[in-house]
Amino acid sequence: MSRAALVVSMVLAIGGCSAPSSNHEPGRSLSDAERDGLLRSWGDGKYDSAGHPFGARVFEAETACSPRTGEAQAEGWGADPDDHEGGLLCTLDIPDVSPGQRTLNLRLLTQETGEYTCPDGAGADECPTPPEVLTLRVLDASGSELGKKTVRHDEFRKPMTYQNLWVSFSRWQQSAIKVELTWSGLAPVRIDYLELFRSMRRAVLSPASGVLAGGERLEAQLIGSPLPTTVELSCNGTDLADVVAQLTSDGKLSTDQTEFRTVLQGALAPVLEQCSWPARLLARGRFGASYEAARTTYRQQPVACTFEPNKLRVLLTGFEPFPATSTRDNSSEQAVKGFDEKKLGPHISAMRVILPVEWDVAAAMVVDLVDRCKPDVVVGFGQGRSSVQPETTAHNAKSSSAFSGGTPDNRGILADGPVVAGGPAKLETSLPAQAIVDALAAAGINAGTSGDAGRYICNNLFYAIMHRVQSGPIRGGFVHLPVISQVGEEDRQRLQTVVETVVRETLALDVTRLFEADFEDGSTQGWGIIGSGDGVGWTLVGQGGAGDSKALRYFDPTFNDYGQQGGHGATKGTATTGYISLPAGKRALLSFDLYMDTEAGKQYDTLAVEVGGKEVWRKDGPGSAVAQKTWQRVLVDLTSLAGQTVQVGFTFDTVDGHENLGQGVWIDNVVVSAR
């Protein structure tokens, strides 16, 4: 088929799938058309409650536009190929636009999207070009074009979900502008509103966050109008006004101004001399009644690999506060910093790294850590949603323009394009997203999976992680957390539960159970049990197990203690499993449930675990404190014994015959696994 025929058939298919205007479902709530999650997290005065920039002039499409085609719909002005001819969908005259840089943004959606791919065997000139659905033009009073942008049908990411079509332009004098939106007539569309606002007023810092090699030059820019007079610097919250003044007097810093820009520049090292490390540098300037700021974080050396040997390695990342001026918490930073892996057992070692909110910089840091530190699991956390959302799909696209007017990162940078040039359009998470959601729901935490992490820094990081770990043994993914402006103690506990659940459910994957005994069949077949011969020792009992009815217990059945009432002296007994083959090249783990009602302390009433003739765990030994009269889960790393065939032995020794009136020891749910 020729290119022309392909395009014609594609256009006909678009028109044929369109719903007639009588079926537009004017009462549809558009539940998928929520505002950008990022806007909801900007609680620092940048955006109002409706998602518009403060000071924006907002024009509702159904009342402000002067169209030549289309019709009024429930949430704006729309058009459908079955009922309307292509043409001007909206014209709008806006008077008295003041000087400076402006953005004109349309909020719009389509009811359907399409996939446009080359057919097998087709040449480059036979690949269909997705049709352009809308063209937005901004003209000055004389009719000269100030800006233009088109949107193709395939650029609508999700049906019935609002997105932005925007144009930025500059005015050098106060005058009127004209807006023209032309519709091709090829796909149904709807415009909710247009908004005009001053844009690109920002602070920009160089160099980017990272390790300083020495000799770098600082460049702090304030871009926009009204023109600020000074660039203010602080480091880790400490004002550097005196430092800047002295360095300027010494000729090491200089300030240059143009009509739309102020630049402070010079050697970076002297500016940071009074900073602690890592150094969070903040540059800000006043624009009228508000401040714009940029922030970077500098280090003297790369983040060190701190994983403990012979343990499962979990790399967790969160983000610094966002935007740069924010004085509020970032819930992802607090979640990662507050995570205590010890609650999951001694076999896990976690690294916690807080990343700058910067295009590609955060992603590069994590890729470097994956390469150097070789984690088993890497999970990025970010904020911006109303619930916990494990992301399922990373998209190879980054776009500051995904948010109204263009959104700079914390450094002040805007970015568009692929995350990885030539990479797949999408990459899927290797975290058990649904299992995480189910476990969180069981813990009373609102959660659900998400198939779109946006096109901002979170997705930038998510895609970079998945591109690095794809087709390898490392499991990776990204989880969005709710926005919590000030994280309190109750919030910390819930965030701990979230991170703990993500890690636990992920580590549960790829596990092979080599041996397990819950004793529920009422048998100890395969176990070797050696006692003192005085009626005290390991016995299978029909009650008191961890979460079930049977367990292995060390006690005196006659007196229900472990020897004192029966007049026994010191007793000792061992319960040993059959032979277990630990595979070579894998991490092996022993876990069991334990209940002890005995003397506390190290000297008496000891419990030890031997594997392959080697003691691997002891009650109250290093890192193995045991609480009395409560069930607890014990985990023991057996990786050093990989490749061997071993037995697991549990030995309880009273050491003497005194104070043995407790109920003894229970062992249950013994599991040996490998991954």
Residues for the chain: how many in total? 675
386, 460 contact by CB (below 8 A): no
610: annotated active-site residue: no
Kindly state the tokens that stand for 255.
Answer: 């300030």
275: annotated active-site residue: no
Cβ neighbors of 209 (< 8 A, separation 6 or more) are 296, 297, 298, 356, 358, 361, 411
Options 84, 153, 347, 480, the catalytic residue = 480
Cβ neighbors of 555 (< 8 A, separation 6 or more) are 536, 539, 561, 562, 663, 664, 665
* N-term to C-term CA, the chain: 52
Cβ neighbors of 333 (< 8 A, separation 6 or more) are 318, 319, 320, 321, 354
CA nearest 15: which of 88, 79, 106, 89?
A: 79
Cis before 207 (ω within 30): yes
219, 138 contact by CB (below 8 A): no
- What angle (nearest 5°) sits at the alpha carbon of residue 216, between those of residues 213 and 220? 135
Options 391, 505, 599, 610, the catalytic residue = 391
Options 333, 458, 467, 568, the catalytic residue = 458
Report helix angle 489-507 to 433-442, nearest 10.
140
373: annotated active-site residue: no
Tokens 């009719």 correspond to 143
**CA dist., res. 322 & res. 324, Å (int):** 5
- Share of the chain residues as helix, strand and coil, in percent rounded to the nearest 5: 15, 40, 45
Amino acid at 372: R
104, 138 contact by CB (below 8 A): yes
**CA dist., res. 276 & res. 265, Å (int):** 21
State whether the Cα torsion 4-8-13-15 is positive or negative: positive
Catalytic residues: 391, 458, 480
